[in-house]
Amino acid sequence: LAEMNEDESINIQNAMFAWFLTRRQQGRMWVDVQDVSTTNAILARNGITYDNMAKYSPQEIAKILEVDAIVKGTFDTDKPMSDGASLALGVLVGFWGATNKATINMFIYNAADGRAIVNYNKTVAGSVGSTTDQLINIVMRKASRRIPYTKPKV
């Protein structure tokens, strides 16, 4: 179970990094974001693991990573209904149930003082066939209004 959580954590990191990178390439984000493999390698070299990360403050982690800010938080998903059940319900009564739900509680911390500069808490529901990556895109699109490093789409 712990290994599954760690794998899911890395998948979420990669999906969020891809989101940030896309915005950067579009010119809609004006800061660089450190890639996941570099971040995780630096943390591992410093003895920080998935299991002991909570022992470190955001300011300590930012100092170790040599970054100006860090994104930290939780991303919980659940699947209240299988895709098959949602399809059956849609055919029978015309209602397509949510097959995926994600809740994000994201913070962006300033490295200089460890202060939270952004907090975003949101739950979104996916539909038939939605993936974690798609849910992250939905949440991050909504969260981008609160992220000081992004520009609105023109």
**Tens digits of per-residue pLDDT, 63-111?**
999 999 999 988 877 754 344 443 444 344 444 444 577 788 888 899 9
The confidence band for 16, taking pLDDT boundaries of 50, 70 and 90, is confident
**Looking at residue 60, what is its pLDDT?**
95
Fold classification of 2-143 (topology level): Rossmann fold (3.40.50)
Q: Report the alpha-carbon distance of residue 35 to residue 80 in Å, rounded.
A: 32
Domain boundaries, the chain: 2-143
Compute the mean pLDDT over every residue in the chain, rounded to the nearest whole number.
78
Question: Which tokens belong to 127?
Answer: 């539909």
Torsion of CA 106, 110, 115, 121, to 10 degrees: -10
**Looking at residue 154, what is its pLDDT?**
57
Q: Taking a C-beta distance cutoff of 8 angstroms, is the pair 68, 111 a contact?
A: yes
**Looking at residue 86, what is its pLDDT?**
37
